[in-house]
Amino acid sequence: ETGVTQTPRHLVMGMTNKKSLKCEQHLGHNAMYWYKQSAKKPLELMFVYNFKEQTENNSVPSRFSPECPNSSHLFLHLHTLQPEDSALYLCASSQETSFEDTQYFGPGTRLTVL
């Protein structure tokens, strides 16, 4: 595997379900991110982790719960979601240095909440 991978690629869940999204980066990066992309809206940053520590929570509802067990893996735990949470969820990673901090994205998980 290369780059940033995400599983599952598609997910359909009811409002009472609990599910998790998984992201893995094979780039040796130290920072990982969750973004939400809804139709006709810009990408919205949700969470940032740097060296496994959460450094940003962009006012995300508590029904979204991130977990970063190490610098290569990132999870987004979902529970009691609403239909308006249906979107493409993107994971990204970057290697922060003084000169370079490009974020590389995974293919995304298309989430549908019924």
Partner 1 sequence: EDQVTQSPEALRLQEGESSSLNCSYTVSGLRGLFWYRQDPGKGPEFLFTLYSAGEEKEKERLKATLTKKESFLHITAPKPEDSATYLCAVQPLGGETSGSRLTFGEGTQLTVNP
Chain residues that interact with partner 1, rule: CB under 8 A: 4, 6, 31, 33, 40-43, 45, 48-50, 55-56, 88, 90, 92, 94, 96, 98, 100-108, 110
User: From the CB of 90, what's the least distance to partner 1, in Å?
Assistant: 5
Backbone angles phi, psi at 99, to 5 degrees: -110, -20
Least Å distance between CB 2 and partner 1? 14
Residue number with CB closer to partner 1 (13 or 43): 43
Pairing of strands 104-105, 87-94: antiparallel
Using the minimum distance from each CB to partner 1, give the nearer residue, 6 or 113: 6
* Half-sphere exposure in the Cβ direction for 80 (13 Å, CA): 3
* Beta strand segments in the chain, E: 4-7, 10-13, 18-25, 31-37, 44-50, 53-57, 64-70, 73-79, 87-94, 104-105, 109-113
Closest distance of CB 31 from partner 1, Å: 4
Nearer residue to partner 1 within complex by CB, 6 or 78: 6
